[in-house]
Amino acid sequence: MVKTVLFGTSALDAETLKEDRKNCRKIGPCGIGEKALYLNSFYFSRRYYVCYRDIRRIFKRVAMSKGGYTGKGVFGSIPYLVVQTKDGREKQCNFKFEEQVDQILKVMEEKHPSIPTHSEKAEKKLRKAAEAEEKKYLKHLTPEANHTVQQLQEAEERLQKADYYKELSYAARQKRIQDNIRPSWRASAIVLLAAAIVISLFGLYTILHHRNTFSLVCLLGGLAAIALIAAVQVLPTGTRNRRAAEKDWQQALDDMRRYLSDETFPVPVQYAHPAVLERMIRIIRQGRASTAQEALAVLKQDLQKMDHTVKVSQAEYDEITAIKPMFLICDYQ
């Protein structure tokens, strides 16, 4: 119903565009087609399209509030997908869920490996971080440490064969968000929503009967307030509330337990995530631990020190935001 607008220099003919958009792989408000990448506007999904040959770089950008780590704020992280074209333009697409941005970047890496999936600044930081990290590793590990690293690598490969760890991480983040929403915030949001609805209805009524500028201001202001309150995601819904978040977390734990039931896994099931194992491997290679239990204890200490005041690379940020909620809701037990 909404015309798809070209973002770039290479246009597709109407029939090709229609067919490609129809069959594209939809991920959140964007889509990945055979011919082009489809990007959202603020209001409409897949509003724009850009051919792959016009894309110079695509990457994730995250706006992070202090509340994401401390629990003192209403907002958490706000993820964006950024597309830069070869003619110098940039399009930033907002997402509700960071996992969807990661999924798009993963597909782009697989299907279009020639397109960089990090910003230029991030690439430089990643290279420097990799070089600095390599210097921290011991040249020779003890037999016990080598055996532990091998066990952790095998466990990591086991986890990556299924998506249960993604469900576990997502459920932990949602539970963390719901647990940190104070009752006073919900009450305030309900009052504001009711007031916004009344103002919108008043504006609509006066427009129908008087048609003046004040009526239009009331209507638009009320609708904008309703949209803002909904975007904050403080109001409980049938699927977004504490009870539902707890249920999803327990279901994710049960799924992971069943998946690992025949395994002697090196970490507790609530921490079964490839990023956890990868960080434990790095801890051992740095000589800070020799066994899985010791490495997990060091990892917990590292995560407890991580807050909004600590500067990290994008790669480390992705790891921390994926696994720290699991440790927080379990109180690091």
CA atoms within 13 A on the CB side of 170: 15
The DSSP call for residue 308 is T
For the question of whether the overall pTM of this predicted structure is more than 0.75, the answer is no
Let me know how long the chain is.
333
**Nearest residue to 50 via CA among 29, 36, 60:** 36
* Structure token pair of residue 52: 């792959």
Instruction: Answer whether 164's CB lies under 8 Å from 257's CB.
Output: no
SS3 131: helix
- Written as tens digits, the pLDDT of the chain (333 aa) is 568 899 989 999 999 999 999 999 999 999 999 999 999 988 889 999 999 999 999 999 887 554 444 444 444 568 899 999 999 999 999 898 888 999 999 999 999 999 999 888 888 888 887 888 888 888 888 999 999 999 999 999 999 888 899 999 999 988 888 887 777 767 777 788 888 888 888 888 888 877 778 788 888 888 888 887 776 666 666 666 788 888 999 999 999 999 998 678 899 999 999 999 999 999 999 999 999 999 999 999 989 888 777 777 777 888 888 899 999 999 888
Backbone angles phi, psi at 182, to 5 degrees: -75, 150
Rounded CA-CA distance 26/147 in Å is 43
The DSSP element (H or E) to which 21 belongs, if any, is: helix 14-22
